[in-house]
Structure 1
């Protein structure tokens, strides 16, 4: 879900992918999870497009992984004779940037869920510690403790670690890490993949496949830029329509649909417009904030019954409320915390450099 590194001043921002990430967050937060608010009769006869999101909207998380891998490669793998990509000396700054980006809002939503949903039997002390340590995807029941969607953050952190180790080891090492990650994930889905989903055991393979496939797309960006837009649109449609039968639906989506969508987004100027950048900046907040808000509504007011008007009215009101809270969290929590953590790390590095120059 993360894409804003410490070296923004040296690398151009892929604003069009920010916009795509914002749309993906809205798909999960406003069209997939909120169906839990409605009585089954209210969801009957919904438009086909909405029906797709209610069935497969969870797969947009795999689009997050793909976008993250592409942007990480864009930021940390560029280099020339004067400037290298991610180095061992830069690992500390890399880790500080990841903590600054992910942890403050994760901690805030975790504490909120602990305060308001402490009576949930799934919210155990072990689960709380796992969330604190960013290990929530590895403690049962995954996606059903505290802030459920945060499971994806913990598996993405694993990708960050593997990426950093590979990148600092050199391009050859990173290629091996990439091939093993993608190959291992594909083997998992071929051998153990099941139709439908989401399935708990797919969490880490999903992250590995999406993240390192996104990195591969970046490495092949010049060749892929020559692909006709019509061909990419056909691949997108093919990936969305392909039925894998007894196998996981994530294979056509992750291998065809979402890569094609990412490449198409890079060609769409409107994806980098001011409204889309605004949405992209708040995509992480939307993703983390919507679920606690959903639980509050579900516990206090749902299920909602009625016709299509009820469905859309509740959905729009919920979306507006999430956007408002997400904007506040972005401006009051995310941005200030990010600045404080990065400034603290920079001061730490300055002190360390000074001690090397003038040892005690």
Structure 2
């Protein structure tokens, strides 16, 4: 839990940008009419169609960071499983629970927000209860997929390097088989949730293991691979294949080489990325209650988008400072006290 491993601050910045892509450029399309967005520049049009794939970048970053933190030295042992689990709970659950309770209070009248869906959200199983992405705090579906990845990672890591390699290989092969055999064009599709998480998370670990070999890859080649993954039309197959196998791995490697990605503003954004991700959807649903979709030009689109982004960033900063971090510290402190008391008894 208190790892001496150097923090990958540049990936914090990348995570922050990915959160902003989902929160500010993809989901808020509901604030505008189709005609208002028709004249948008190509980068914005791309986010309107494919901004949801930023979640797959989250999965990839998580896998890389987990390998960096937990696979160095003696790795994740059975003796460390308790601390590992507590760290994951402290990181994810308090803010998830707070957002869930807020959404329950504000949006219980939504037909999809049933008692079953509420129980699933409480247990962080929301990605496995229909309608996925449309109950309470919709974007939180990806958190429950990450939890599955954490469990598989922990089981593999505590079984030894060979076991983890088998878990990694099976997860990636199974996910890719799903996309090849059952993947459909467009998206996002509900049935792709778990394969998306498995592919991204465990591919991230493969990238970490190969970091030495990949360090010499020319920047120009990485840029070409990134663009290839973005632009390749898969026809009748899932667009996630080139994105997960080419675009996002290349972008992660490029971010690791960009000093500005670890700058103070980017670190600030990265530290609040989880809060941005969970806060923006409830705020957007509240705005949609009284907002009439704007039908003006691009100047109005950018102004409204900037206003919404500013509101989310302000609210996220307050939540991060006064709830997320205090809750995380309290849980970890409680575990430390318990560990100190339990250690003499075990001895």
Match of 2:95 among 100, 105, 116: 105
- Residues 7 and 75, structure 1, Cα contact 8 Å, conserved in 2: no
Say which of 275, 290, 297 aligns to 2:280: 290
Structure 1 segments of 4+ aligned residues over 6 angstroms from their partners: none
Deviation string 1:273-322 (CA, Å, 9 cap, x unpaired) is: 00000000000000000000000011121322211121111100000000
Matched, 1:356 2:340: no
Name which of 12, 15, 21 aligns with 2:15. 21
**Cα drift, residue 226 of structure 1:** 1.0
- Say if 2:148 is the partner of 1:165: no
Give the gaps of 5 or more residues in structure 1.
Answer: 1-5
Could you tell me which runs of 5 or more consecutive residues in structure 2 were left unpaired when the two chains were aligned.
none
After superposition, the C-alpha distances for 1:306-353 in whole angstroms (9 at most, x for unaligned) are 111211111000000000000001001111001100011111111211
2-structure distance, mates of 1:151, 1:188 = 19
TM-score, with length taken from structure 2: 0.99
Q: Deviations for 1:12-69, whole angstroms, at most 9, x for unmatched residues?
A: 0000000000000000000000001111221111111100000000000000000000
* Structure 2 residue 284 is matched with structure 1 residue 331: no
Give the superposition deviation at 1:196: 0.1
Aligned partners of 1:68, 1:134: CA distance in 2, in Å?
Answer: 18
2:68 counterpart of 1:74: yes
* TM-score relative to the length of structure 1: 0.96
1:70–1:215 contact (8 Å) kept in structure 2: yes
Match of 1:190 among 144, 166, 180: 180
How far did residue 354 of structure 1 move?
Answer: 2.0
CA RMSD in angstroms, aligned pairs only:
0.7
Determine helix, strand or coil for the equivalent of 1:245: coil
Partner of 2:36: 42
Of the candidates 208, 226, 235, which is equivalent to residue 216 of structure 2? Answer: 226
- Count residues with an aligned counterpart: 347
Q: What displacement does 1:271 show? A: 0.2
Greater displacement, 303-312 / 265-274: 303-312
Q: Helix, strand or coil: the match of 1:115?
A: helix
Partner of 1:3: none
User: 5 Å matches for 1:82-231?
Assistant: 84-231=74-221
Equivalent residues in 2 for 1:241-260, closer than 5 Å: 241-260=231-250
